[in-house]
Amino acid sequence: MTNTTRAWHLKSRPQGTPTMDNFELKDAPLGELQDGWIRVENKWLSVDPYMRGRMNDVKSYVPPFQVGEPMQGGAVGKVVESRSPDFAEGETVFHLQGWREGAAGPADQFNKVPPLPVEDFHWLGNLGLTGATAYFGLLRAAQAKAGDTVFVSAAAGAVGSAVVQIAKAMGMNVIGSAGGAEKVAWVRELGADEAIDYKAEPIVPALIKAAPKGIDVYFDNVGGEHLDAAFAAARQNARFAICGMIEGYNGAPPHGFKYIMRVIAARIMMKGFIYTDYLPEMADFYRDMGGWVSSGKVTSRETVRDGIEAMPEAFLDLFRGANMGKMLVRL
């Protein structure tokens, strides 16, 4: 066995938008395989917008990456060596030692994937963090229910595309926004009743036109002008699940909300959440989402980059809107 693995390290903290200079690919120690440990070869690595926050030296819901240390994130791999009775060689596992080719550690840091007939990368997508974020944000944080009119931003993104389909599967009316004709076409294919190209028209009047009776639920992935549009269009007792505000991640000047006072008139409820808030309910998620993915009711697209070398660019492309659906790195 090899005692090192190639891993992306945080070389320096970005000011504003990250650049390639903030990342360094070099060997990291894997450690001696101890009793109770397993060693894994990663096959799929996840890049997600939330990782941008971990590049700052700020305490948030996940600890910051440390300068000079390997970065972390979701990964799916195969067990190649096991000194744990719980894992056999060849088994597929999901874990959080991403941004690297190999991983090793105590068995309890790794999770066997549930026995569903789906491709491995889904455990980073609709059956992983991405899908759980969509599911719990829509159904728990925003308490969306059949008949609601739901607005989703970044609807052609990994989380947004799952939200569109879950909402349709549960009998909601869905309006999605995305940037560019190709993405908008895909959002319609996913089943959205209305799709807005926010690069082609200002989002506030476009949303009011798409939802003349207003919206009951907003699933926020972007913040800024989209959130303001949701304030403007909110019906009485609207609920907003605040999942991400990608517009602000790279230090853009703060948005001035023109319609925030509608929080009072429309009695809006806003709730920030992370999918891990709902870990005790993961069985519900696997039951529902497993069924929808297996039956094809919830589909996905992946934007795949090959090789560990491609990972930082794949990550940076998230902020350029280069991905349709889930952005993945295949090893």
The residues that touch its own copies, with contacts defined as CB under 8 A, are: 53, 60-61, 223, 242-245, 248, 253-258, 260-274, 277
Please, what is the minimum distance in Å from the beta carbon of residue 315 to its own copies?
A: 19
58 or 200: CB nearest its own copies: 58
27 or 225: CB nearest its own copies: 225
Q: Read out DSSP for 160-222?
A: HHHHHHHHHHTT-EEEEEESSHHHHHHHHHTT-SEEEETTTS-HHHHHHHH-TT-EEEEEESS
85 or 256: CB nearest its own copies: 256
272 or 321: CB nearest its own copies: 272
Please, what is the minimum distance in Å from the beta carbon of residue 277 to its own copies?
A: 7
| Pairing, β 23-29 against β 4-10 | antiparallel
| Pairing, β 37-46 against β 110-112 | unpaired
Please, what is the minimum distance in Å from the beta carbon of residue 93 to its own copies?
A: 28
Distances in whole angstroms, Cα of residue 38 to Cα of each of 34, 46, 140:
8, 21, 35
Please, what is the minimum distance in Å from the beta carbon of residue 282 to its own copies?
A: 18
Q: Is the Cβ–Cβ distance between 155 and 176 less than 8 Å?
A: yes
What dihedral angle (degrees, nearest 10) is formed by the CA atoms of 319, 322, 327, 331?
-110
- Phi and psi at residue 23, to the nearest 5°: -120, 150
157 or 223: CB nearest its own copies: 223
What is d(CA 157, CA 136) in angstroms, rounded to the nearest whole number?
17
